[in-house]
A and B are shown apart, each in its own frame.
Chain A
Amino acid sequence: MRKILVILISTFILQAGSFTTAIAQVKQVRIKVNGLACPFCAYGLEKKLKKLDGVGKINISLNKGLATLDSKADQSIEFKNLKKIVKAAGFSATEIAVTVRGVVRKSNDSYILAVSHSQDELILENNEKLNSLLSILNGAPDPVSAMGILYKSKKHKTGSHPFILNITWFETK
């Protein structure tokens, strides 16, 4: 009986672990980069972005002025210092869009997308997309995939919620 209990608990822990990994990801980051004029200079940007935790494939489009970062399997892309990193490479990041998977929860007067595996939390900006997402979830802690524009909160410069996500697309699968 004890043996069965240990197996059951172990299986539960393992499954919980893989579940957390699956739902806790900044899967893609798209950075609009100003000043990108030459391919040779873009190497510095690639090199700097590659150093970020969780970054797998990088695609830089000079004609679109866009750097796209895809996460490594089961890893979350570190996104907190993106503007600083782009600046150190000699360019300016004007807009950062992320595709993130997480769980929505209420915190005080706002909703938060918890990227628990990486301990990142994004404040969700109140807009129509958020309202329709909340009505679909109806309080259930289901995993959500969301895409949106990321920006730094002027109100919460420090602490655990320095970033706001303005959702432009979501999926509740």
Chain B
Amino acid sequence: MNVFKKTHKRKPLLLLCAMLLLSLSPANLFAHEPIFGLGPHVVFKGGFGIETEYAKELLAGVNELESTTSLRTEIMYGATGNLAVTLSAPTIFGHKTGNGTESSSGIGDISLRTKYRFWRDDKPGIQDAAAVIIGIKLPTGDYESTPPLGSGSTDVLFALAAARESRRWYYFGNVRYRLNSKGNTIRFGNRFFADAAFGVRPWLTEYLKPDLVVMVELNWEAMQPNKIDNQIVANSGGDQLFLSPGIFFTLRNWAIKGGLQIPLLQKLNGLQRETNYRYALAIELHV
């Protein structure tokens, strides 16, 4: 049975696209951080980090596949050695079903995040750090376009991230909570995320040499059901757990990063399309 009945085709489609847009919003891809989780990294004082990321999610329904793609640009500025501000804006959003392809382009929902690294302990070749992140997503994207460029709601993100980075090993952990407000007619359920990541640098290369870090993450997402007119949408919300291998390849101030999310567990309420996979590819420059 297809959850998208023809009689109510447009509204659930928009709803789904907006949900995907929310789910595809990357946590933060800066520096040697997890691809899908968060880390306490900030850019150096007065420095800029510029990143462009391509992300895709493939969902599997009963009768058809559905894919969603986005292109996002982020700019991070190091206000101090421990405080960074990030502006994030998706610019292209595409959606493809068995029925056809739709794409929208333009500025999506702009997010602003501040990250404060409140604790740092430096040892030879090791940095332990913890940071708090507060972010806001503004309803700047057109939620009526097909597929929508925004969710139409103003949402707030709170997160706590900690990490140990060493020459050889990387350990990351974070928790995130996204408080979603009511958009046009839909109030997307709040989301809780918890991520753990482990990475290894196979070759201890020196500065100015090509450097590779291989990482694997566990990403848990707990989604509350959405509401329309204060009524719970039965086919929304649930839990997902992903195993996510990823790589970072860097050369001086350039980085290429990529990661794949493979679902381990999906307990979704009602009838929802399950995620087949998600991936993200990004290029980043520090200046």
Measured CB to CB, the residues of A under 8 A from B are 32, 34-48, 60-63, 65, 87-92
Chain B residues within an 8 Å CB radius of A88: 44-46, 80-81
Task: Give the interface SS of chain B, mostly helix, strand, loop or mixed.
Answer: loop
Contact in complex: A60, B127 (CB < 8 Å): no
Chain A residues within an 8 Å CB radius of B82: 90
Further 14 A-B residue pairs, CB within 8 A, beyond A36-B127, A62-B204, A90-B44: A34-B124, A35-B122, A37-B126, A38-B213, A39-B209, A40-B31, A44-B47, A48-B44, A60-B206, A62-B125, A87-B81, A88-B45, A89-B81, A92-B122
A51's nearest neighbour on chain B, judged by CB, is B46
CA distance A43 to B287 in the complex (A): 9
Mask of B5-43 contacts with A, CB within 8 angstroms, 1/0: 000000000000000000000000001100000000111
Contact in complex: B211, A89 (CB < 8 Å): no
CA distance A5 to B213 in the complex (A): 70
Chain B residues within an 8 Å CB radius of A35: 120, 122-123, 126-127
* With contact pairs A37-B127, A44-B44, A92-B122 given, residues A62 and B206 touching in the complex (Cβ less than 8 Å): yes
Contact in complex: B206, A38 (CB < 8 Å): no
A40's nearest neighbour on chain B, judged by CB, is B250
Q: List 18 A-B contacts (CB under 8 A).
A: A34-B127, A35-B123, A38-B213, A39-B208, A39-B250, A40-B253, A40-B255, A41-B41, A44-B47, A44-B286, A45-B44, A46-B207, A47-B44, A60-B206, A62-B206, A88-B44, A90-B82, A91-B122
Task: Give the interface SS of chain A, mostly helix, strand, loop or mixed.
Answer: mixed
Chain A residues within an 8 Å CB radius of B120: 35, 90
Q: Interface range on chain B: under 10, 10 to 19, 20 to 34, or 35 or more?
A: 35 or more
CA distance A38 to B215 in the complex (A): 14
Contact in complex: A41, B32 (CB < 8 Å): yes
Closest Cβ of chain B to A80, distance in Å, is 17
Closest Cβ of chain B to A37, distance in Å, is 4
Contact in complex: A37, B166 (CB < 8 Å): yes
Closest Cβ of chain B to A60, distance in Å, is 4
CA distance A32 to B125 in the complex (A): 11
A61's nearest neighbour on chain B, judged by CB, is B206
Closest Cβ of chain A to B91, distance in Å, is 25
Q: Does B167 lie at the interface of the complex (its beta carbon under 8 Å from any beta carbon of A)? A: yes
CA distance A44 to B122 in the complex (A): 16
Contact in complex: B253, A38 (CB < 8 Å): no
Q: Does B165 lie at the interface of the complex (its beta carbon under 8 Å from any beta carbon of A)? A: yes
Chain A residues within an 8 Å CB radius of B123: 34-35
Partner of B43 from the list A38, A44, A63, A91 (CB cut-off 8 Å) is A44
* With contact pairs A37-B127, A39-B250, A44-B286 given, residues A90 and B166 touching in the complex (Cβ less than 8 Å): no
B116-141 contacts to A (CB < 8 Å): 120, 122-127
CA distance A36 to B205 in the complex (A): 12
Chain A residues within an 8 Å CB radius of B255: 40
Contact in complex: A37, B165 (CB < 8 Å): yes
A35's nearest neighbour on chain B, judged by CB, is B122
Closest Cβ of chain A to B51, distance in Å, is 12
Closest Cβ of chain A to B126, distance in Å, is 6
